[in-house]
Amino acid sequence: MSKRSILHMFDPMPNNSPFDINMALDAGFDVLMPYSNVKLENIQNLTQDAIFSRSPSGIKKTGIFIGGRDIGLAIDMLQATKPAMVPPFEVSVFADPSGAYTTAAALVACVEKALKEVHGKALTDCKALVFGGTGPVGIATGIIASLQGANTVLVDHLSVDTANDAAKQYNRRFSANMSGAVARTDADKIALLADADIVFCTAKAGIRVLSAAVLAQTRQLKVAGDVNAVPPAGIEGIAANDMAVPMTHATQSPKAVGVGALAVGNVKYKLQHELLKSMLKSDKPVVIDFREAFSKARDLV
């Protein structure tokens, strides 16, 4: 009898994400088993229960998905699964807390493509601002951009200390090179944008971060990407489906182009789907975090 595919979904939050459950089912898993309020110290026992209950052939149809909202804890949980496995009892593991890894990977890949096609530049040539930079998607975006060589600044809307603390924490962890900044007012935003080439907008849904008046003051902006699909757009003038569309409000940066939330979201959806499918198709266990997600996102764009 053919064994059914099972995805064990470990989440430190009170509820697993319905988005992730829908995605996993659509990717082809037969059975989804959500676990809530999972602690780091639970990972070893849960992993071993998952692997030792099936034969090596069944192991190939078993996977672990790690959710939550804390991108650092998700990596810790992913790492904790590794010593719990005993060859040949090894399963694929995919960490994507709050969809932050796949969303950030899709955002950076889309902006990178627009930057190359319109301006002939790479991320390593540019200064990038991440507004909403202390949230899960913002931090993941900043790490990916920094590891690709961009001079990356995490921007918080309330506290420079919060931004600096996040930058220092994740610089140490992933050998990134980010700094922090605060932008409480339009004047603060204009000052930060004065020498910025790239803007990533990862702030909360429904919040206008950059207005037309602010954009009109930018002088060297090349690409701006927004992940907010809930009106109003995070960046005024960028439509949801825009992919490298000229930004009419950036009047002093006439070659600036925008990438909209649905353009990013389309890549994010395909990316998560393909990564989940890879857990079922691969003959060998795969381990997926933001690095593998970005590599695949580049292929998809």
pLDDT band at 108 (very low <50, low <70, confident <90, very high): very high
User: Which whole number is the average pLDDT over 100-105?
Assistant: 98
Nearest 5°: phi and psi at 200? -110, 120
What's the pLDDT at 127? 98
The pTM of this model reads 0.96
Spatial strand order of the sheet with 6-10 comes to: 31-35, 6-10, 62-66, 92-95, 287-288
What's the pLDDT at 55? 83
Work out the number of other CB atoms within 10 angstroms of the CB of residue 8: 21
Nearest 5°: phi and psi at 295? -60, -45
User: Which whole number is the average pLDDT over 75-89?
Assistant: 95
Among residues 220, 300, 297, which one has the least CA distance to residue 256?
220
Among residues 62, 54, 57, which one has the least CA distance to residue 32?
62
Q: How far apart are the first and last CA of the chain?
A: 40
What's the pLDDT at 1? 60
On the question of pLDDT at 208 being above 70, the answer is yes
Distances (CA, A) of 100 to 53, 137, 138, 245: 31, 4, 8, 25
Which residue type sits at 74?
A
- Beta strand 257-259 pairing with 243-246: antiparallel
Summarize pLDDT for 276-293 with one digit per residue, the tens: 999 999 889 999 999 999
| Residues in CB range of 288: below 8 A, 6 or more apart | 92, 93, 94, 95, 96, 275, 278, 279
SS3 of residue 142 by DSSP: helix
CB half-sphere exposure, 281, CA atoms < 13 A: 8
